[in-house]
Each structure stands twice: as C-alpha cells, then as structure tokens.
Structure 1
Amino acid sequence: MFQINKFILIICCFASSLAYSQEISLFQQFNGRYDYLAIGNTLNQFENNLDRSFCEILPESEAELNLNPNWNIVAAYLYWAGSGNGDTDVSLNGNPFSADNTYLVDYNDPIYGLLTYFSCYTDITDYLRATGNDTYTFSNLDISETLTTNEGYCGNRTNFAGWSIYVIYENTDLPINQINLFQGLEIINRNVQEKTILLENINVLDNEGAKIGFLAWEGDVNLNYGESLLINNNLLSNPPLNPSNNAFNGTNSFTGSNTFYNGDLDVYNIENNIAIGDNSVEIKLTTGETDEFGVLRADLIILNNVVTVLNSQLPDATVSVDNYFLECATRNVTINFTAFNNNATEILPAATPIAFYADGVLVAQSETTNSIPIDGFETQSITINIPETISDSFTLQIVIDDTGNGAGIVTELNELNNTKIEGITLLPIPEAIPLNPLESCDIGFNKATFNLTDQLQFIDYETLEDISYYQTETDLFNQENEILIPEYFENTSSPQEIFIRVNADFCFNFYKFKVSVKNCPPNIPQVFTPNHDGFNDWFNIQGLYNIFENHKLLIYNRWGTLIFQGNNNLPWDGTANKGLTSQGNRVPVGTYFYVLFLNDESFENITGWVYVNY
C-alpha cells in the first residue's frame, strides 16, 4: 500500500520572483463596479489517492470562458501549478506564455524527505481582451521530474498539475464593490492549524453579492480532516459541492463540477456572514481534528490565494509631487503637489490633512480645499522654509491624511499608500569671491569717486544685464537698493565694502571688495590773481583742503620774511597775516615762496614759489 499523506495547496502568484513560505497579505485591490470569475481545469486523470495510475498527468486540458457581452475585462491572470521545482514556460491555445513570477514551497515528508511544489503566474489581460469568449486549452506543463526521478511525490500522493484563469471584469449594473486579492505561500498543518487574515479599512454598505473565493490544489473528496473556511467566525459551506468540514475536495463552484481532481476552484456566498456597517472582516482557514481515540489528524495545506468581493465604499487618498522649485540663497522650497482619490469608492472629504516632513521632521501642514470625487484630484502649491537643522540634501515626505503626528482622520480603502517621497537638495547659498580693493584720491572729507566697473575684468559673466552692485550683502540677496551708476560711485566711509551680483541660470555668484580713500599729492598752482574778480582769487592748492586737514602753509617774500601762515581753515587770499606793519594788507605783485607741511607720514614737506599778480 502507498502511504496517504495528502495536503492542500492554495495558489496565486503575484510578487517576488522566488519565495519560500511567504506570509499571505493584501496584494491588490480593485474598486469600482467590478466582480470576478474564474475558469480552469486539472491535468490529473484521477484523484491521486487511488491506485498507481494517478501518477500520469494529461498533456493538456481545456475550459470555456463565457463572458457577458457588456462585461469589460479589467484584468486577467493565468495560473499554473504542480509538484516539483516548476515549469515556467507553458502554452494557452498554442500560444507560449512565460511566468512573470514563480513561488516554491517545501514540505519535509517524514518518509521521503524534502519535497518541493511550485506555482506560477503571468498577466494575460491583453491576450484575453483580444481573444474574448473561447475554449481555452492549456498545455506543455512539464512535471516529469515528479513522476520519474523522485518517487516521493507519487509515494506520498502529492503529485498534481493544473491551471486556472482569473478575470476581473466591470459591469455597470453592479454596485460599487471592492475586490481584494491576498497572496503569499504559507503552510498550515498539525503544528499550525489555522491561518487568519484580517481585512480592515472597509465600510460595508450592502452585503448583497458578497463572496469569497480561492484557487486550491491537491484537494480531494476522501480527506476531510477539519478543512474549513470561516468568515467572521461563521463556518462556510456550499452544499452539496463543498461541505463545511471538507472545503478542499476537488470541486469547481463556477461549473458545479466535482471532478476538478486534486484542485479546487471555489467561491462562496457570504451575504449572511457580514453586516452593513462592518469595518473589518476576519477570514480563517483551518485543518485538523481529533478522532475518537484522541489522535490529531490533519492535512498539510499550503495557502496562497484568497479573493473577496464586498460592497465597501471608502475614499483612498494618495498624493504626488508634480514639481518643486528652489529659491537661491534661501532655504525655501515651493512644492506643487496633487491629492488624488483614485481607485476609490467614496468621495474624499474636504479638509483632509496633509503633512510635510523633511528627514522625518514636520516642516509644514496643509489640507485639501474641496471634496475630491471618485477618481478626482486637486492640485495645490506650498512654500516651505527648511530649518537650518536639516541638511541641504534631505528626503521630503508628503503624507496625506496625516495631522502631523502620523495619525489620520479619514478611514480609507488602503491606509498604506498615503506617502510620497522626494529627494531634494537645496541650492547652496553662494560664498563671496574676494576681489582686490579699489583706491581713489580723496576729494575732501575722506570721500572719493570710484568706477566700480573696473572690477568686471576680473569676474565671469555673460551679459551686463546679469551684473548689479550693492553696498550690503543683505541688499544683494534681496536685490534691493542697487547702485544705479556704478561708474561714478562716491563712498560713504573708508574703507567701504562693495558687492557685485552676477546672475546665473539657477542662482547667482557674488563678489566682494573694498573701496578705500587715499591722500594723493596736492597740485600746487604757480600763479594766482587775488583781484576779487571771482576767478583764481586765492592760492587754490588742489587736493589739499579738507584732505590734509592738519596741514600748515607758510608764505615768505623774496627777502625771506614770513608774511602768511595758514591751515585747513585759512587759505591764502593774497593778504599778509604776519609781520609788524603789513598785516591785513595785500601783498605787492611778485614772486613768493611757500613751505607746505602736510603733516602726513606718507608725504614729505613741499617747498616752491608762486607768482602773485593783479
């Protein structure tokens, strides 16, 4: 006798290309006037708990798809599964298809050791839309390794092969439903006798048409060790096809067949097991029961797919970053973003909060302005000042339905898709590039005139329109109080710092330098005419008065007699202020000699002559 060591394999492959016992969790939702159906067939000729002939599988099998003409295909998936390490290339109606993903799971049989089983998945939406209603023939699945090279599969009667097509379709006569597909690959057996899936974030408005379905392999009618499916702790059954204690028994609920050997393609009505107002549904799959001798008997079941259809109406808030703009020389970022209510079954209310985080630190908050309809959106803009404590390169997170502490106020279909992440690097504040100072001669009172454009030969720029001049760095950043005539700039202090801004594509460069007033050698005339005609009436030494403020001027006649002593406040107007008899009198025409004490350590005393004429 062959040992009977059966287990059930529930299959659906969506995620990682290769996985070993992956926890079942929500993978995908479809929200709209949607429903689903499935077709498929086994490649087993008999249940594999009969005689040895069960080890042979069929080269092909077929199933008929019959969609209503006004049903629009939303998505379609081809699944195939079997014992062994897997065959990723198969045919449907003679057309080759390769697996998008493959899952493997191992079972350590106490007699035959480690045995592997597989399932594959590929998206055939476009193909099914083009082909439509037809008889679909599945072929070219090779599991020969399980029949010839490893006697364990036939020995413990777990060789199997089969296929199925799932179709999600739209029917405008349906209510707005939520279809949930759960995926993974997990084992329940005598050690772990149940798997519980909690479906949250729902709002049941009507229970009409509610259903749960699954695709399972390795089910047969003769093993019924407490195999059950429960919704909200209510035991489900679908008699006479699926009794409550034998959920996995080789049946196809869509066709009413009980010859889906070593597989199950079942769906259950659950209208009476959920209630209007429910906001969660608990799904439980079990195996195992104790016989009259106290012995625990259980099948080994590998779970991978559960599908629910519920009339649940909730919004689903998501957000995107459309673009952002950086302000040069500031830490401001302007974010253009859009709030969406896609794939939803209810309006997203106005005032749904939106939080903005920089490297996890809350930096701004906003909210939706209007109610957003199903599949609608709302675009906004916000300018955020990034604190100095945040680095120039940071991660921006926009989280919709977040009050700023990670908590939301709106119950959604999917609470896990509210965040958008964007990496941002601020434009660094430019550093000033130093230039050599400019000096100009004092024209009085420590002031001078400077041609600031002399510095252009030392900087890089495209056009003169890119250049502007400022007296403070703040004015440069704010582009205020520009020096309008840089060719004739008069300083207000000495030294005084000047800034040049050069605008570039994204920001600007800027330069700084100092202007300084210096004393230059005075220009002394050789003649003056103090005749009060308003022209050349005094000894006007250019570059002396109010420049060398501490100077002293001495005038001598031809015999060496001091006749005048002046300073910054007393220039010589041709009269004498020294001597016993000539003070206050005009000096006669003639040549006079001067000694000019500049009292500046940078200059020596100056001597010379001047001719006075009338």
Structure 2
Amino acid sequence: ADSLAISYLWGGGETSRFITIDSTDTYIVTVFNTRCAGSDSIHVEFRPTFNGLAIGVLDSTDTVCDGEPMRFTGITSRSVVDWMWSFGDGDTDTAQVSEHSYVSGGNYTVELEATYLCGQDSITDLFSETVKITQTPSVELGADTFACTDVVQIRPQENDDFGYDYRWFFGGEELEKGYELTVTEEGMYRLFVNNDGCTTEDSIQVFFSTEFVIPNVFTPNSDGVNDYFRIQVTPECHDFDEMSVYNRWGTLVFFTQRPLFEAWNGYNQAGEKLSPGMYFYQLSGPDGSFRGTVSLLSE
C-alpha cells in the first residue's frame, strides 16, 4: 500500500490493513489517503482439505484374515468426480466405498486417488495406508488311520509347525497343545490351529487293528448281506499273498494272489455256481499260514 494511506475499508467492513479469510470469495478493499481513494479486488479460491480414507473390517474384528472382506471408504465433504483404489495386490476399484479381500497374508499398501474440482481446475490427492493381513493356517491330517500297534502318533501333513497354536480335542475335551499327538485310544480326534486369531480345523478317525477275522460261513444269494467269503483284515497291518479254496474232493475252486482285496463269491473258476456245503481254505504269506473250513449256505 502507498505510504500516504491513512485508512482501509474492506468489503466486509473491516478497517485493518490485513484481514483473515477462510472461504472462497472475491475480496474488495478501498484505500484512502489525504488526497484520494482507490479500490482493488482479489478472488481467493480455497483448495479443500481432503479427509483421507478409512479402512475397516466388515465384522469389526481386530484381526484381518486372508479371504475376509474389508470395507474401504474415501471420506470427504467435497464433490469427488473420480475415485481410484489400488489395493496393493494388483486389484483396483473406482467406487467411493469398496469391499475387498486378500487371498494371502502379508502387508499391503492401499492407495486412494481422489479427483475433484477446485474452481475450473481438476485436482487429484493421493492417500495411502498399510494394512496387515494374517494368513489363515492350512492344516490337513490326512485320511483316517488304521494303527497296527496300540499306540500311534498323529500330526498335520505339513512339514513345519510354523509356530502356530495347536489344540487337540477328543470326545469334546481338550487334550494338549502341540504339533504332534500320541494316541492310544480309538476315536475321532480334532485339531484346531490358530494363527493370531485366524483359525482352521481338521479331524481324523483313528482305528487300532491288530487282529484279523476269517469267517466260517457265507451266503452268496445276492441279497447284499454276507455274499462273499472275505478275509476281514486291515491291509496296512497284515500281509498275505495267496488264498486257495477247495471242495471236499480236493478240487481247487477259487484262487487269488490278492486275498486282502479279492473275495470268493461262491462260484468256481469256470464261473459255475457251486452247491451249498463245506469248503476248505488255505491262507498263506509272510504273516503265516492258516487252514480252515467255511460253509457255503444257500439262504
């Protein structure tokens, strides 16, 4: 201002040399000195403050697991014309409020580009935040186990315990914690694995089978009940490699080299149905030799 100026008058009535403004407007000031007066104006456009982004889990838990949906929200009082989310895993979205889930654990940098109008100008702000995704454990106990002894160790099929929290249950009661469990009783065992709040589970049925049964009667009448002469044995626990069946005259009527998997249906090797009566079997292999009789009944 001119050094001869003695007073100021702003459009809003202020008379100080400086004023504080907080909104977009055209501001006019008139300056007076002892001889004359002059006016000028300036238009001030405020660039709005963008409030940023908000990230939250849909179920409001503290831990976010892989595969769990999250809500991402751009927060502003301005009229945004374009939204662009980048979730750090290659996926993007253009909605103000977006739901996204991650397929694996890790730290991801989430970025939001918000474009809005400021007067005639288009302005883009960039915001970012890091989210931590916890990996849900993968656990597989495998198929049901037939134990050939009176004790067996069960454990996940993974090669490493990864430091997770392992809890074993049997009959509704918690047994112990640990990657491996010693089992001495038949039944269903459940394993719960926890990684910082992300959990999974699996179960396995344990059977103890140290004996085998050779039936002494069967009824091959196609009623679906006891139609075969079959060695009742757990293949993992016993080893027999031949079984022969003879009639009362010593004629071979059935033979197999897979006695643990093949059964006699009451027919001879020519495919002829045999008469009811008593037959003689011989079972042999590394586990020993066994001889006995079996009755073929018609009913």
TM-score when scaled to structure 1? Answer: 0.28
Structure with a larger share of its residues in strand: 2
Structure with a larger share of its residues in helix: 1
TM-score when scaled to structure 2? Answer: 0.50
Q: Which has the higher contact order (CA 8 A, sep 6+)?
A: 1
